Amino acid sequence: MKEEKKREGERKRKEWEEKLASVTEEERSKLIESRKGMRKERMEKRSEERGKKIQRLNEAKEKGQNIVIDLEFSHLMTASEIHSLVQQIMYCYAVNGKCETPGHLWLTGCKGEMESQLNRLPGFDKWIIEKQNGSYIEALQDRKDNLVYLTADSETVLDDLDLSKIYIVGGLVDRNRWKGITMKKAQEQGIQTAKLPIGNYLKMSSSQVLTVNQVIEILLKFLETRDWKASFFQVIPQRKRFEADSEPNSEAKSEEHQGEEAGGGSEEED
C-alpha cells in the first residue's frame, strides 16, 4: 500500500509538472495560486474537523458511555499478538473519534510490553481516553456494581446499553487458547457479565471470533443506531457470518456459532 501510494504521488506530481510546462507564465502563476488556495481550504477543513472531534470526545468523557478494554492478559500473548492488539486499539480510537456520539474509552492494566508498544504510537499521549496501569477494579472500585464484563460465556444477553453501566471488553488476541478466561475472571471478581445478542440475528462461522476492535465498533454503532442487527451487519465481515436469520428471535444459539465477544485472531482487521 505504501509503494502504491508512493507511485500514485509520483504520477500526480509528474502530471502537475507537465501541466505547468504546457501553459504560459501567466497561466502557470494562476494554477499555482489556485492550488495553494485549495490546499489551504483542505487544511482549514481538517483543523475544523479535528476541533469538533476533540469537543465530542471531551463531552463523551463527561456524559458518554464508558467502555473499558482490559489489558491484563498481555502476559498470555506473544509480542506479535500484543502488536496486533495495539493496532486494534488504535483502530478503536480512530473509529470512536469519527462517531457523532462517541463513547469514553478506558485502557486498564496498561503496563509492561503493552504500555511500551502503545507509547510508540504517534500522538498516543494526546489521546482523549483514560489510561490506567492498574486494573479496572482498582480504577473503578466505587462503581463496581456497575461493571459489566462482555463475554460469550455469559448467560445474560445484552438487550440495551445503559449509560450508568461500564462495559468491559477483554483485550486478548487468539482467545481460542484461553476459552472461558474472561467469564472466570468476572466470576472471581464478583462482577456482572453479559454477551452481545449476536445469536438473535446471525450465526457465526464456527472457527471465527470477533476481534476487540469489532466488539468496540459494534457497541459504538449501537450507540448511534440503537439497532443491534444493523450494528452487527455493518461491522462483522461477510466471511465471519455462517448464516443470517430473518427473524430476530429465531434459533441461533449453539455455542459453536456465537463467536466470542472479545479477543480475536491475530489479523490486523480491515
What does the mean pLDDT of the chain come to?
A: 86
* pLDDT tens figures, 172-214: 987 567 888 999 999 999 999 999 999 899 887 654 578 999 9
Name the least confident of 23-37, 82-96, 103-117, 160-174: 23-37
Q: Please, which pLDDT band fits residue 264 given cuts at 50, 70 and 90? A: very low
- What is the predicted pLDDT for the residue at 254? 34
- At residue 117, what are phi and psi to the nearest 5 degrees? -70, -40
Query: Is 259's pLDDT higher than 50?
Result: no
What predicted TM-score, i.e. pTM, was given to this entire model? Answer: 0.77
Query: Is 261's pLDDT higher than 70?
Result: no
* pLDDT tens figures, 4-44: 889 999 999 999 888 888 988 888 888 888 888 888 888 88
- What is the predicted pLDDT for the residue at 176? 66
Residues 6+ apart with CB under 8 A from 147: 136, 137, 140, 165, 166, 168, 191, 192
Query: Is 53's pLDDT higher than 60?
Result: yes
Calculate ∠ Cα 194-199-203, nearest 5°: 140
Q: What percent of the chain has pLDDT over 90?
A: 63
d(CA 254, CA 259): 10
Q: Counting beta carbons within 10 angstroms of the beta carbon of residue 146, is it exposed (0 to 12), middle (13 to 18) or buried (19 or more)?
A: middle
> Look-up: residue for cell 448467560?
155
Most confident option among 25-29, 80-84, 262-266: 80-84
Hey, which residues are catalytic here? 174
Query: Is 243's pLDDT higher than 80?
Result: no
Instruction: Compute the average pLDDT of residues 56-62.
Output: 96
Q: Please, which pLDDT band fits residue 246 given cuts at 50, 70 and 90? A: very low
Element containing residue 3 per DSSP (H, E): helix 2-21
Q: Please, which pLDDT band fits residue 252 given cuts at 50, 70 and 90? A: very low
Name the least confident of 112-116, 221-225, 257-261: 257-261
As beta bridge partners, residue 204 has 241
